[in-house]
Amino acid sequence: MNKAQLTERVAANAELTQKEAGRAIDAILEAIMGEVANSGKVTLVGFGTFEAQHTKAREGRNPSTGEPVHIPAKVRPKFKPGKEFKAQVGG
């Protein structure tokens, strides 16, 4: 499913126009991305949790040459599915 298909489904389920549903989806995604970008956490009970995961700097190896390579610390987005989501998917 892509964003246009999601917009159609939300519009039908919530009895909104596609334009309204598209704006609502955009607002939700912006809010989630903004909070996670500021190292926050967004928990949607039953669906899951979005948060920033901080990784430490470390040394790795170039698989071709075997030479040590410095891997810098970084922050990446992380999603942990909720209990209901896992149950519906079958996990």
**Structure confidence by residue, pLDDT tens digits, 73-87:** 999 999 999 999 999
Calpha distance 33→62 (Å, rounded): 32
What's the whole-model pTM score?
A: 0.79
Is it the case that residue 90 has pLDDT exceeding 90? no
- Same structural domain for residues 87 and 75? yes
- Same structural domain for residues 34 and 45? no
**Structural domain total, the chain:** 2
Tell me the residue range of the domain where 90 lies.
41-91
Is it the case that residue 8 has pLDDT exceeding 70? yes
Secondary structure of residue 82 in the 3-state scheme:
coil
The encoded tokens of residue 18 equal 């596609």
- Same structural domain for residues 71 and 29? no
> What's the CATH code of the domain at 84?
4.10.520.10
Q: Look at residue 91 in the predicted model and tell me its pLDDT.
A: 65
**Structure confidence by residue, pLDDT tens digits, 15-67:** 999 999 999 999 999 999 999 999 999 999 999 999 999 999 999 999 999 99
- Same structural domain for residues 17 and 50? no
Beta carbons of 49 and 77 less than 8 angstroms apart: no
